[in-house]
Amino acid sequence: MRAGCQAFCRRRLVGRTADELGEFLFLTIFYLRRLVMSISDTVNTECGAVGFYGSVRGADELGHELFRIDLPGYPRLYGEYRQKFAENPNDFDIEIISFGYRDPRNAGLSGSRITTSVSFEERQAVESLVRTLFGSQKAAQAREGMSTFAIKSAAFLGGIHFQPGWISVRAGSARGVRP
């Protein structure tokens, strides 16, 4: 098996430019990291599973930090967060910007064609999962691997804030008002 892998790699990489080899190496590391992260940083609860997705370049060509949530009956959904800095320029809380992306590359866009609407009860479950990911001891190991929490001179203060309109709640669901 190992000899077969080496022969495959040799055929694919021989004659490539340094830029092509660099891109190959970058993508290989990127996808391996995603695979390891998706296994090691998932926090399972009674209402679903939550974990970090990482940084992506969104449809708006800007960088976005994403988390992922698996709710029963839905495809994997993604949400965006960012640091909300305290008065000192180092310490921060977390601010949830949006949630419901079916495709992580749509980060930065909005609208009902881009995000999935949930019921009021599911909104509460999503909020609980987000609070678990960012605030509970259960998810401390998952946070350690994320660059947001790895800044030595900064401290996460523990606050989790939700922007108005961060999630779309289906009309007609119990107490179905937009948060």
| More confident: 52 or 3 | 52
Record the pTM.
0.73
| Residue 167 clears pLDDT 70, i.e. is over it | yes
**Mean pLDDT value across residues 28-50:** 67
Most confident of 36-50, 64-78, 108-122: 64-78
SS3 124: helix
Domain ranges of the chain: 1-40, 42-179
CA distance 158 to 136: 9
| Residue 18 clears pLDDT 50, i.e. is over it | yes
| More confident: 156 or 27 | 156
CA distance 112 to 86: 33
- Smallest CA-to-CA distance from 122 within 170, 68, 159, 177 is with 170
**Mean pLDDT value across residues 139-145:** 76
Answer for the pair 130, 160: CB distance below 8 angstroms, yes or no: yes
- Smallest CA-to-CA distance from 134 within 33, 55, 69, 51 is with 51
Confidence band for 7, pLDDT divided at 50, 70 and 90? low
Q: What is the reported pLDDT for 112?
A: 79
- Smallest CA-to-CA distance from 115 within 58, 173, 55, 43 is with 58
Burial of 5 (0-12, 13-18, 19+ CB in 10 A): exposed
| Residue 28 clears pLDDT 80, i.e. is over it | no
| Residue 173 clears pLDDT 70, i.e. is over it | no
Answer for the pair 51, 68: CB distance below 8 angstroms, yes or no: yes
Q: What is the reported pLDDT for 103?
A: 93
Pairing assessment for the beta strands 92-101 and 156-162 based on DSSP bridges: parallel
| Residue 130 clears pLDDT 80, i.e. is over it | yes
> Of 50-59, 61-70, 89-98, 169-178, which gets the smallest average pLDDT?
169-178
